[in-house]
Amino acid sequence: MNLFTVNQVNQVYVAKRKVDNPLTKNSTVGDVYVGAVKGVDNCNKSIYIQHRGPGSITRSDLIDLDKILYATITHAGEMAKKLKEYRLKLNADAMDADDNTKVIKGQDFILRIKLDHYIGISPEDSEYWKYGMVHTGPNVTVAKFWTEMAKSILRNMSREAVKFISLYPITTSDSTDSVEDDTELDLTNVETQMASATGLAIREVEPADWILGLKQQKIMHIEVTPVAFEYDGTTLYWVDGQSYNTRIEPVDSGVTIPNGKLTADYEYFFHGERGDQYRMVGWPDYIPTKYIVDDSKQYDYLQIHFYYRGDNEAVQKSEKDITLLCEKGGQTDIAAAIKTALTTAGVPATVWTPIAG
């Protein structure tokens, strides 16, 4: 019959190093050993993972080689979260007809920023709005305009408990626009930082209030809309790329959030489901659980998907996984050991090819 529980459908181990011999009490935390069990024909019938955790040595289920459905590697870069940004520049319609180096005067330019997944608001009502506004007087240059817009947004955000967005100047050289990634705007230095700006970049940020096992690392998504207004008898859309039926679209900022904190939460959840269901019970009088993942690093995931099938009445397939969390690039030796065991047993190449590289 099926002996494992729903809480063990995914067995997760943090693998720091592959060793060639079975583990002992003197093994280092994070060591893994890929063992094999031979059948009556003296060929490998099953493999297993032995793992040294902070407290003791753990062994995975025996994995019958003929019951492995597939093995895969998901690389750290594939799990990194990409931050998007809006790159805003004034178009020709926003410039004074008598002097195209100045912005039209006497108008209110409003930038609407929608924040989604705002803290404390349910998914059914998760939108929160912030604004930037510039009222133009005479002789407002492009750099001055975007300086005042940045000031307005920064002031509007200054009272918030957490950081929602970051702002960067856009500069232009030889008709090429560049976001100055090394210059994040702040109220104290914004005048100097925006002195030669030709535009403004508004970017999502990495959440700073992540708490292991309690608060996920969720990006607060943004949507930026320059508000059109009536000018000289027509509707004026004042940002490049915007029109009556075209909204400003975000672009990839080139900045990503590594998967370290995601992996730390992954270990926390599955470790607790496997063997620490009562953690924090009786706080502050409890035994703290030790974890292995370093949230400042990146991790590759090596996963073996297999099934258990019993005898007689227990012939149903019960599918499950073993997942090894390896520091970026550190899964090579472990994958090679698993591949060797699979090929020696004659497991089809379609099963192990995804981990062969």
Tens digit of pLDDT for each residue in 181-198? 999 999 999 999 999 999
Q: Which of 353, 292, 355, 352 is nearest to 325 (CA)?
A: 292
How buried is residue 285: exposed, middle or buried, by Cβ count under 10 Å (0-12/13-18/19+)?
A: exposed
Residue 186 and residue 277 in one domain: no
> What pLDDT was estimated at residue 272?
66
Residue 250 and residue 325 in one domain: no
Sheet with 81-88, edge to edge strand ranges: 176-179, 165-173, 199-204, 81-88, 251-257
Neighbouring residues of 173: CB distance < 8 A, sequence distance ≥ 6: none
**Please, are residues 274 and 8 in contact by the beta-carbon 8 Å criterion?**
yes
Indicate the pairing of strand 44-52 with strand 57-59.
antiparallel
Which of 239, 257, 275 is the last residue before a domain boundary? 257
Is residue 54 one of the residues assigned to a domain?
yes
Tens digit of pLDDT for each residue in 229-278? 999 888 999 999 888 777 889 999 999 999 999 999 999 888 765 556 66
Residue 225 and residue 128 in one domain: yes
Residue 172 and residue 242 in one domain: yes
> What pLDDT was estimated at residue 356?
60
Q: Phi and psi (nearest 5°) for 143?
A: -65, -40
> What pLDDT was estimated at residue 273?
56
H-type helices in the chain, by residue range? 76-79, 142-157, 190-193, 260-275, 332-344, 349-352
> What pLDDT was estimated at residue 3?
46
Domain count, the chain: 2
Residue 136 and residue 211 in one domain: yes
> What pLDDT was estimated at residue 196?
93
Residue 135 and residue 241 in one domain: yes
Q: Phi and psi (nearest 5°) for 344?
A: -60, -35
- Domain span at residue 338? 6-77+260-355
Is residue 183 one of the residues assigned to a domain?
yes
Which of 238, 257, 276 is the last residue before a domain boundary? 257
> What pLDDT was estimated at residue 119?
62
Residue 102 and residue 70 in one domain: no
Maximal CA-CA distance, the chain: 93
Both tokens of 256, joined, read 């990503």
**Please, are residues 180 and 196 in contact by the beta-carbon 8 Å criterion?**
no
Is residue 267 one of the residues assigned to a domain?
yes
Q: Which residues of the chain have pLDDT under 50?
A: 1-7
**Please, are residues 66 and 348 in contact by the beta-carbon 8 Å criterion?**
no
Which of 257, 277, 302 is the last residue before a domain boundary? 257
Residue 39 and residue 149 in one domain: no
Q: Which of 279, 113, 337, 120 is nearest to 204 (CA)?
A: 113
**DSSP annotation of 354:** G
Residue 128 and residue 265 in one domain: no
Residue 182 and residue 295 in one domain: no
Residue 242 and residue 205 in one domain: yes
Q: Phi and psi (nearest 5°) for 206?
A: -75, 125
Is residue 158 one of the residues assigned to a domain?
yes
Handedness of CA 147, 149, 152, 153 (dihedral sign): negative
**DSSP annotation of 67:** G
Is residue 99 one of the residues assigned to a domain?
yes
> What pLDDT was estimated at residue 242?
84
> What pLDDT was estimated at residue 309?
79
Is residue 1 one of the residues assigned to a domain?
no
Q: Looking at the chain, which runs of residues are DSSP E strands?
A: 10-15, 17-18, 31-38, 44-52, 57-59, 63-64, 68-74, 81-88, 108-115, 128-135, 165-173, 176-179, 199-204, 222-227, 229-231, 234-236, 251-257, 299-308, 318-327
Is residue 174 one of the residues assigned to a domain?
yes
Residue 55 and residue 42 in one domain: yes
